[in-house]
Structure 1
């Protein structure tokens, strides 16, 4: 009886922790504090993004708006778990570029590492140049995992951002995420992880770069690991195209992998079969294509185990509520005046 009592206390304690995290993630005061980053250091601004983030008190409880001037910033940007409520805003994805160049076999490093809850990034390019032709190590060892971003926190939104790499470009690891009008470039499993995410009006470009090799690649590797998991990648009103080789839309990184592509344009970069199990059970995989156009859509040679959803089932994924639980996206926009 005592063990049962202790078990109930543990469950209640765990539940309270979840509630605290849920409420605390949205407890960001406004109007936001503003910090400027400019490579020239004019007007008392910081010269690196890292130094601007390091200046914020920990733990952070106030929205902090970091305005990053045009320029190429060669550095890694890490937002640790005790640094929620940060809004990174560049001068445009073609003008504000954050880059690094390295490969890590454990995928523990990336140009951007977002571990905290309640993060926004807007008008910035994050890129990993490790596999780019012209770098001696790339040509010597071939293409290897090199992350442009690792997104692990909850309630994270990207607007008008670019993610550029070749293999494992964007690790959408876990949490509720929203990508709007973003550009994502790569060739091998370049959108992967176990996030619960919507990609809306994004451009997905399959390429190894201007001088890169022609290879057959894979766009997504979603890692949903149980039938009860709510995670999945949803692509709506996107453009999927490319310039080198052909690519599958996805392969199963997890045994219950889930990817939905709807109302999008698919170019002939898409391989006829579309998807692969990666040795996972076909019956557990949820790969859906609905209402797409273009030469890569509606191919009669698609895998026969692809799923079909009812209209209501499909809408439950396409509706913003799939990720916008409790209206956090609207709250972020309102607090930050956009």
Structure 2
């Protein structure tokens, strides 16, 4: 506001000013009220912009509304939530018969959270969430986690009609290129069963290149290269991930917390393969409080890139890990550059007496940057209380 100067009112002008006082006050009140309304409007707009900048539990929930006539509606689980809800139904009774069709309904460059509810069932389709469609949620039925499955079966050695090889990065059943994506109670599956070491058997269930994504109680099922954590910052919380060789791989900066990680290898394999070409690259995989088990004898990680970074902290590791624990990708020069570490893990597979000497048993100070969501800058884009999960996550739905 600008400064105001005091002025004297002389007798001869008092009458005129008195006559003008009432309309002036009325006009002043009008502008004040308009200003307050505008202020509230701007605050609302700013609040909306702020909401678009983070992921919360609300972005992973929908609630069943009352039946209106013969139609049952799904709505956001909170009255103040302006999110749009799109419902998939293979029988054609809702908004879309396919998941991709539901994604296609979202406008390009949208700035509003769109929740796609996917009822239990097996959806045989490849799905792409393009970079131009941020703020999308895939929501399954929390009461029947694992009952909503998106499934496909491309492998790297497959060929298109023109003879071009599919390649690893195009095998994903679901590809997410957009930012602020989140999912819950969904299984991403690639049904190819790969024999470790067999050429062209890479087959991803999910490929994620979008930034700031969250997966809660989501399953990733495959064998070789199950989860392509390609790029961006991601939070995997209470997820199930299984495979044989490099079944978590990519160049992402991701936190895997309280996840169930299962090797399905019969003989040998590897859990993670992280790619990091330069020491200053701000990427890596951090596994925190995870339960690691399954079959076969696998390594904790492989140095896909010269500066690969993989850290396991406070994990329970069953007897599925080779004594050496880590692999240099047949490049001894990487041994002095990689950042492979373990901290306060337990279980037979956590025994470090046979570990390669270039892996580290980290100290408390060394591991501190990897122990929470700050590792993925989640304090800037996640608004969660993982110690007290919102009870609204457990809604029941009809299919």
Structure 1: how far apart are the matches of 2:193 and 2:200? 6
Q: For 1:118, which of 176, 180, 194 is the aligned residue? A: 180
Q: Which residue of 1 aligns with 2:209?
A: 152
Q: Report whether the alignment pairs 1:282 with 2:335.
A: yes
Q: Which residue of 2 aligns with 1:8?
A: none
Matches within 5 A, 1:1-338: 26=53, 30-42=81-93, 44-91=94-141, 92-104=144-156, 105-131=167-193, 144-208=201-265, 214-243=266-295, 245-278=296-329, 279=331, 280-330=333-383
Matched position secondary structure for 1:60: coil
Matched position secondary structure for 2:322: coil
Spell out, residue by residue over 1:208-258, the C-alpha distance to the aligned partner (whole angstroms, 9 max, x if none).
Answer: 5xxxxx231011100011110111100011011012x21011110000001
Q: Which entry has the higher C-alpha Rg, 1 or 2?
A: 2
Structure 1: how far apart are the matches of 2:280 and 2:345? 28
Spell out, residue by residue over 1:70-111, the C-alpha distance to the aligned partner (whole angstroms, 9 max, x if none).
Answer: 100000111100010001101143210000011122422311
Could you tell me how far 1:312 is from its partner in structure 2? 2.5
Structure 1: how far apart are the matches of 2:81 and 2:274? 35
Tell me if the contact between 1:248 and 1:275 (Cα under 8 Å) persists in the aligned partners.
yes
Structure 2: how far apart are the matches of 1:301 and 1:27? 43
Q: Which residue of 2 aligns with 1:4?
A: none
Spell out, residue by residue over 1:256-313, the C-alpha distance to the aligned partner (whole angstroms, 9 max, x if none).
Answer: 0010001111111100000011114211111111111111112301011112433233
Structure 1: how far apart are the matches of 2:129 and 2:148? 18
Q: Which runs of 5+ in 1 are unaligned?
A: 1-22, 133-137, 209-213
Structure 2: how far apart are the matches of 1:27 and 1:128? 30
Compare 75-84 and 143-152 and name the one that shifted more.
143-152
Matched position secondary structure for 1:31: coil
Matched position secondary structure for 1:282: helix
Structure 1: how far apart are the matches of 2:262 and 2:218? 14
Matched position secondary structure for 2:382: helix
Tell me if the contact between 2:109 and 2:132 (Cα under 8 Å) persists in the aligned partners.
yes
Q: TM-score, normalised by structure 2?
A: 0.71
Structure 2: how far apart are the matches of 1:73 and 1:164? 14
Matched position secondary structure for 2:214: strand
Structure 1: how far apart are the matches of 2:323 and 2:384? 42
Structure 1: how far apart are the matches of 2:199 and 2:316? 31
Structure 2: how far apart are the matches of 1:81 and 1:255? 29
Tell me if the contact between 1:30 and 1:62 (Cα under 8 Å) persists in the aligned partners.
no
Q: Which residue of 1 aligns with 2:159?
A: none
Could you tell me how far 1:320 is from its partner in structure 2? 1.4
Structure 1: how far apart are the matches of 2:383 and 2:360? 32
Count of paired positions? 301
For the aligned residues, what is the CA RMSD?
2.5
Q: TM-score, normalised by structure 1?
A: 0.83
Structure 2: how far apart are the matches of 1:310 and 1:291? 9
Tell me if the contact between 2:323 and 2:351 (Cα under 8 Å) persists in the aligned partners.
no
Could you tell me how far 1:143 is from its partner in structure 2? 7.1
Q: 1:332 to 1:72 in 2, by over 3 A?
A: farther
| TM superposition outliers: structure 1 runs of 4+ over 4 Å | 27-30, 331-334
